[in-house]
């Protein structure tokens, strides 16, 4: 069965995307996939800088996050939109994990051949959709197969159930479950 890593591109305590990642992780568990839900706050990294990398190497937290990517077949990423793009935090963790550490390590070992599902939640009318365009492009360029379907949850202040990890709108919840299943099924087929 597929091993799926779930995380949000935000560390803000009341982040809608962290809530969305929790809902998506619950949906992924229902498929029978092996699901690991992490918080990027547990992997603090300095801003990527090649001089820092050359003098000090990859930070332990970046190495641990990269290993999480390597150990999983697919990713579910709930990414906030910042000024029509994805968050600086997302860019930073992508960049650190893209680096080769040892001689002979294949380029982009954490990404090539992986699958991803992209999600976003925002108080705005577009639900963070514009940021997913850029994230899709970056992930595709580094060898990740991003499934075509995605979900952008608008009016996020009212989008989540209070007592369980579900979306308040039944149609959105059904779509989320369908595209999570699509990710798991695609990942299984690619890695079998």
| pLDDT by position in tens, the chain (length 192) | 999 999 999 999 999 999 999 999 999 999 999 999 999 999 999 999 999 999 999 999 999 999 999 999 999 999 999 999 999 999 999 999 999 988 899 999 999 999 999 999 999 999 999 999 999 999 999 999 999 999 999 999 999 998 889 999 999 999 999 999 999 999 999 988
Domain of residue 68, CATH code: 3.40.50.360
State which residues form the domain around 130: 3-191
Of 190, 172, 165, 169, whose CA–CA distance to 28 is shortest?
A: 165
What's the confidence (pLDDT) of residue 162? 85
DSSP state of 157: G
Taking the C-alpha atoms of residue 76 and residue 192, their distance in angstroms, rounded to an integer, is: 19
What's the confidence (pLDDT) of residue 57? 94
What's the confidence (pLDDT) of residue 189? 95
What's the confidence (pLDDT) of residue 192? 81
Taking the C-alpha atoms of residue 128 and residue 17, their distance in angstroms, rounded to an integer, is: 10
CA distances from 144 to 1, 5, 71, 126 (A): 19, 14, 14, 25
Number of structural domains the chain divides into: 1
Handedness of CA 9, 15, 38, 41 (dihedral sign): positive
What's the confidence (pLDDT) of residue 188? 96
């Amino acid at each position: 069965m597929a091993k799926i890593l779930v995380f949000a591109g935000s560390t803000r305590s009341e982040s809608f995307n962290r809530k969305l990642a929790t809902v998506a992780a619950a949906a992924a568990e229902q498929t029978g996939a092996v699901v690991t839900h992490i918080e990027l706050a547990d992997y603090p990294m300095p801003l990527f800088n090649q001089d820092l990398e050359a003098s000090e190497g990859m930070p332990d937290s970046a190495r641990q996050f990269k290993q999480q990517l390597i150990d999983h077949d697919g990713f579910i990423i709930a990414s906030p939109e910042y000024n029509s793009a994805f968050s600086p935090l997302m860019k930073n963790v992508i960049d650190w994990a893209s680096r080769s550490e040892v001689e002979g390590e294949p380029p982009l070992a954490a990404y090539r051949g992986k699958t991803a599902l992209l999600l976003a939640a925002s108080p705005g009318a577009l639900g963070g959709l514009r940021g997913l365009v850029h994230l899709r492009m970056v992930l595709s360029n580094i060898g990740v197969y991003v499934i075509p379907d995605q979900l952008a949850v608008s009016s996020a202040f009212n989008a989540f159930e209070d007592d369980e990890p579900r979306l308040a709108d039944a149609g959105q919840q059904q779509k989320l479950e369908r595209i999570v299943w699509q990710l798991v099924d695609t990942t299984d087929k690619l890695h079998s």
